[in-house]
Amino acid sequence: MPTFPFDTQKIIPIGSDHAGFELKKHLIPYLQEKGFIIEDLGCFDSSRVDYPSVANDVMSAFKQYNSERAILCCGSGIGMGIAANRFSFARAVVANDLFSAKMSRRHNNSNVLCLGGRVLGLDLAVDIVDTWLSTPFDGGRHESRVALLAKSRS
């Protein structure tokens, strides 16, 4: 079982559009089984919904709850990533492989994971989530670079 470098009792907001709904539906009980508190902000069925609206709700909850991580799912992960990165406090990454999930944490201190429901199998998605949640930020030389990201969006 992976260990997590942050407070697992903080809320992880999660959301999806219709294309990511099945993936989100699969991830929620898995994450709860691991002890995470999950706030599902939609969508709640496979009816068409606009991903920017869901991303806005998730990012608002992320800020309100002072969360350390959030997860967004859409067809490719790309739309949700673009929508999330509009928020100055977000460092959203689209990760469709383990290496991207790991390095986005180690070097970029990513705090929003965007996954593609039409790209990933459910088992790989779980492995990506585990990798992303359990990988700590390396800090060091990467801290000043991450600080520049925040500064460039103020």
Give catalytic residues, as residue numbers. Answer: 74, 107
Smallest Cα–Cα separation from 21: which of 111, 106, 109, 116?
A: 116
Bridge pairing between strands 92-94 and 112-116: parallel
Exposure string over 85-104, b if 16+ CB within 10 A, otherwise e:
bebeebbbbbbbeeebbbbb
**111 vs 71: CA distance, rounded Å:** 9
The tokens of 135 are what? 């990988």
